[in-house]
Amino acid sequence: MSRNLDEIDLKILTEIQADGRITNVELAKRVGISPPPCLRRVRALEEEGYIQGYRGLLDARKLGFDVTVFAAVHLSSQAEADLRAFEAFVRAEPLVRECWMLSGEVDFILKCVAPDMATFQDFVTHLTAAPHVRNVRTSLVLHNSKYEAAVPLEVKGRR
């Protein structure tokens, strides 16, 4: 069960989203409290699952992953065991960076990256052969107009 976050918690989360490497002293200064209670709050937010982890955001293209594709996957069965088996399959696939189960016509949408189209095509061949995969439709990303990995906490603060 989620607790109500106060204004200081939301400020802490906002600052950590903007800079996961911020020191506790700087964080405390920015949110207007002293370092010891700030650290206690951060640890509580981590333990309660509001902060799931810390990581660096890397530029895929600079690292040679020039191809980004979204793949819409339709399964032939929506039985719980088959859905879970497909999820296990994609979790083991390094080119799949995100997997979302959807309602409607598409069962799953996958965000995939690859160094080149040949590597991605090999993956699609592997994906279409996976158990219960009925069909896969892919869309090649031409341009990304917005990439915001953060949660829009400013919207929650308006309520």
From residue 28, alpha-carbon distances to 16, 53, 106 in Å are 11, 19, 45
| 65-111 pLDDT per residue, tens | 999 999 999 999 999 999 999 999 999 999 999 999 999 999 999 99
**From CA 95, how far away is CA 113, in angstroms rounded?**
5
- pLDDT value, residue 154: 83
Please report the domains of the chain, with CATH numbers, ordered by start residue.
7-56 (1.10.10.10), 67-140 (3.30.70.920)
**Residue 159 in this model has a pLDDT that exceeds 80:** no
Looking at every residue in the chain, the average pLDDT score rounds to 94
- pLDDT value, residue 157: 53
Predicted structure pTM score: 0.85
**From CA 77, how far away is CA 103, in angstroms rounded?**
14
